[in-house]
């Protein structure tokens, strides 16, 4: 069983930033920090992450996956998405992972993850999974593209405490899988529930819009597509958009 410490905050700038400046006890395998409100929540790239105070889950998980080879670090993204889906599956059956690590319900985003790693002496010393899950918020600013919250899906208010417990347990399980070297199983679970994983869909890259199917997500995190002409196209994060 992973030794886990949970820190609860009323407010912070960003739970990821909080953990970047945090020194865990030696015996602590996993540190979780959860906040009711973030004054400067960060999303992927240059994005911000906004949330009504006390309505959603805003938390970060710090782990030390030194056994994962640096060139396999996308496995951590897959594992995080697998853990989140596993916890959310208890509420509804329709959750999918959208490459690289968003969680979607139907065509809407319920959760995003910002992963930040520290590499030293050729090992991943620290990995912070910063996760936002829309839980009880029902109105979103127009600037948020296609949001959905768990209470909109289930039709009732959801206990943040209960959901956090389920997510933390799911992370403990996937971390054990990582330590046991079950990389193939994690990648299989990720691919099984991949959004746009079956059939042809519309994508857009720097050359325009095209239709393609997903072949796979490679170990290094690249997305491999095959277009209608049978041409294989390979993308890094942010090089291709799902339409
Ligand atoms: C994304 O989809 O762009 C990733 C969003 C990640 C947001 C979470 S909220 C908790 C943690 N703290 C942050 O500042 N960001 C992550």
- Residue of the CA atom closest to atom 11 of ligand 1: 130
Query: How far is ligand 1, taken at its centre, from the CA of residue 230, in Å?
Result: 36
Q: Which atom of ligand 1 is nearest to the CA of 49?
A: 7
Tokens of 229: 């002409």
The CB of 48 under 6 Å from ligand 1? The reply is: no
Element (DSSP H or E) covering residue 216: strand 208-217
Model confidence at 214: pLDDT above 80 = yes
Q: Is 27 helix (H, G, I), strand (E, B) or coil?
A: coil
Q: Which atom of ligand 1 is nearest to the CA of 109?
A: 2
The pTM of the full predicted model, rounded to 2 decimals, is: 0.95
What are 121-170's pLDDT values in tens digits?
A: 899 999 999 999 999 999 999 999 999 999 999 999 999 999 999 999 99
Mean pLDDT of 176-186: 95
Mean pLDDT of 199-215: 97
Name every residue whose Cβ is closer than 8 Å to that of residue 40 and which is 6 or more positions away in sequence: 13, 14, 17, 48
Model confidence at 27: pLDDT above 90 = no
Model confidence at 1: pLDDT above 80 = no
What is the chain's mean pLDDT, rounded? 96
């Amino acid at each position: 069983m992973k030794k886990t410490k949970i820190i609860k905050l009323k407010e912070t700038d960003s739970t990821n930033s909080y953990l970047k400046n945090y020194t865990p006890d030696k015996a602590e395998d996993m540190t979780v920090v959860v906040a009711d409100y973030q004054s400067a929540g960060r999303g992927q790239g240059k994005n911000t992450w906004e949330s009504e105070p006390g309505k959603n889950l805003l938390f970060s998980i710090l782990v030390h996956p030194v056994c994962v080879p640096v060139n396999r670090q996308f496995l951590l993204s897959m594992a995080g998405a697998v853990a989140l889906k596993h916890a959310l599956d208890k509420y509804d059956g329709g959750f999918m992972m959208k490459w690289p690590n968003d969680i979607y319900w139907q065509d809407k985003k319920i959760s995003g993850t910002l992963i930040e790693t520290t590499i030293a002496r050729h090992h991943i010393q620290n990995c912070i999974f910063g996760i936002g899950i829309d839980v009880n918020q029902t109105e979103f600013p127009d600037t948020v593209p296609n949001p959905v919250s768990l209470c909109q899906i289930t039709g009732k208010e959801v206990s943040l405490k209960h959901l956090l417990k389920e997510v933390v347990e799911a992370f403990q399980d996937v971390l054990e899988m990582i330590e046991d070297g079950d990389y193939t199983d994690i990648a299989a679970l990720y691919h099984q529930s991949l959004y746009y994983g079956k059939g042809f869909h519309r994508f857009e890259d720097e050359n325009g819009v095209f239709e393609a199917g997903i072949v796979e997500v490679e170990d290094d995190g690249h997305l491999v597509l095959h277009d209608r002409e049978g041409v294989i196209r390979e993308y890094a994060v942010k090089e291709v958009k799902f339409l």
